[in-house]
Amino acid sequence: MKLWLFGIYGIVGATAIAGERAIKRGLTDTTGLVSELPVFKGLDKYSPLDFEDFGGHDIRALDKNLYEELFSHWEDNQHFDYRILKQLKEDLEDIRAKKGTALNCGEGVLQELKPIEALENEGLTLEEIVSKIEKDILEFADDETVAVNVASTEPVIPFDEEIHGSLDGFERAIKENRKDIISASMIYAYVSLKNRIPFANFTPSVSSSLPALKELAERNNVPHAGNDGKTGETLVKTTLAPMFAYRNLKVLGWMGYNILGDLDGKVLSHEQNKRSKVESKDKVIGKILGYYPYTITEINYFPSLQDNKTAFDFIHYQGFLGAKMKFYFIWDAIDAIVASPLVLDIARFLNFAKKKGIKGVVKELSFFFKSPMDTDIYNTHKQFSDLKEWYEVLK
Ligand code: NAD
């Protein structure tokens, strides 16, 4: 199979590709890949862990190749063994990003990722931008291609029923050049689903969760999944919160304070871009407990940490006889290392889903996301057993 990444030059995208190539060359093992667990034995019959090719869009550094971009992330983060990286040079230097769009990506992207090289800067209309993105993907894709959005987080775009609520409205807005209300992540999802390419949104941006694009996926018999990879603090939260529920302990308050550096941290240091992420992280506790305790969810930019994200969580809870107690945890992880294998997992499961004739939102892939679409199941244990069962039945 082949993989197309929107935001291919980011640390998550570039590290995912490097990881796959490193496994192929026998430079590392498959630790961290859910799809390689024994319970998913046989998946390689449909989606082998052996990608034929990678491609993608980005909006910066277009004169560079993927190896150069990954090397620059590596210089900042040294997030894996240099001996592995240097053996991947040949594999990665032929991969080059195509020019994408930064429509409605907010100040965080426009300011922090300067200089931006985007199609709209060439004076193209919305329809022309869509056609150009489509042409790039079609030149690359075959029947077994999956696309994943790993671009920077966009601000929350106000929902407009007339435009976002139906496929007709959405396509009309493209023709009418409504650049004010259609964002890059929507265009990427639209082009993928229109061409029957399974699509995943690894970011909190709205993307394929728009009703118009869900309609397109159903109509074209193509599977999709999202939103926002569940990789760190939220993974721990949604694994731990059920414990309080199972023991009938009452959570009174939950505070999560996240600090991170790197490009992602810089973009999220802008209020507009941050809001999508905070919303995605905040609501999970209430969904699991069935009531909404007091919560504080904060994300702040901390430059020297680079890609090493740290989260401090404080939980205040009540037990028998009204006694109040406290629980604290600290999660410390290299963001790209926890995220990038999931990009490969999701792509493999989506390719499998397409081959099995699944269309629309694949709720069983909720296990991988902070804000899974069309489900109220946020409990990691339940999500994992649903994924196993789904695979077992379909395989
Ligand atoms: P990053 O800043 O390193 O990479 C983002 C890449 O997207 C950059 O190369 C940037 O130039 C590109 N980009 C930005 N806007 C674009 C657009 N409109 N079109 C095409 N390319 C665009 O960030 P990252 O750490 O790789 O994270 C990628 C995304 O994944 C972010 O949205 C992040 O919030 C999300 N995410 C990451 C994690 C994690 O790292 N653990 C978990 C969940 C979600």
**Ligand 1 in reach of 56 Cβ (< 6 A):** no
Reported confidence tier of residue 278, pLDDT bands at 50, 70, 90 = confident
Q: Where in the chain is the domain with CATH 3.30.360.10?
A: 233-333
Please give the pLDDT value at position 350.
98
Distance 153 CA to ligand 1 centre (A): 6
Please give the pLDDT value at position 321.
98
Pocket test for ligand 1, best of 62, 109, 150 (most atoms within 8 A of CB): 150
Residue nearest to atom 1 of ligand 1 (CA): 10
**Ligand 1 in reach of 264 Cβ (< 6 A):** yes
**Is pLDDT at 274 greater than 90 in this prediction?**
no
Contact 354, 195 (CB under 8 A): no
**Ligand 1 in reach of 8 Cβ (< 6 A):** no
Distance 154 CA to ligand 1 centre (A): 10
Percent of the chain with pLDDT over 90: 93
DSSP string, 229-244: B--SHHHHHHHHHHHH
Fold exhibited by the domain 233-333? Dihydrodipicolinate Reductase; domain 2 (3.30.360)
**pLDDT tens by residue, 7-64:** 999 999 999 999 999 999 999 999 999 999 999 999 999 999 999 999 999 999 999 9
Mean pLDDT of the 204-224 span: 98
**CATH architecture label of 2-229+337-394:** 3-Layer(aba) Sandwich (3.40)
Reported confidence tier of residue 301, pLDDT bands at 50, 70, 90 = very high
Residue nearest to atom 40 of ligand 1 (CA): 335
Distance 324 CA to ligand 1 centre (A): 40
**Is pLDDT at 242 greater than 80 in this prediction?**
yes
**Ligand 1 in reach of 203 Cβ (< 6 A):** yes
CB atoms within 10 A of CB 139: 9
**pLDDT tens by residue, 318-352:** 999 999 999 999 999 999 999 999 999 999 999 99
**Ligand 1 in reach of 229 Cβ (< 6 A):** yes
Q: What are phi and psi of 83, to 5 degrees?
A: -65, -30
Please give the pLDDT value at position 123.
94
- Residues with Cβ within 8 Å of residue 53, at least 6 apart in sequence: 2, 3, 140
Structure tokens at 165: 């609520």
Please give the pLDDT value at position 351.
98
Reported confidence tier of residue 395, pLDDT bands at 50, 70, 90 = very high
**Is pLDDT at 280 greater than 80 in this prediction?**
no
Please give the pLDDT value at position 265.
85
Q: Given strand 250-260, what is the order of strands in its sheet?
A: 294-301, 250-260, 308-318, 324-334
**pLDDT tens by residue, 122-181:** 999 999 999 999 999 999 999 999 999 999 999 999 999 999 999 999 999 999 999 999
Q: At what angle do helices 11-24 and 66-77 cross, to 10 degrees?
A: 100
Distance 9 CA to ligand 1 centre (A): 8
Distance 151 CA to ligand 1 centre (A): 4
Distances (CA, A) of 304 to 112, 266, 301, 310: 16, 12, 9, 12
At residue 199, the 3 state secondary structure works out as strand
Contact 383, 367 (CB under 8 A): yes
Half-sphere exposure of 339 (CA within 13 A, CB side): 29
Please give the pLDDT value at position 263.
84
What DSSP character marks residue 97? P
Pocket test for ligand 1, best of 5, 12, 259 (most atoms within 8 A of CB): 12
Reported confidence tier of residue 67, pLDDT bands at 50, 70, 90 = very high
Q: Where in the chain is the domain with CATH 3.40.50.720?
A: 2-229+337-394
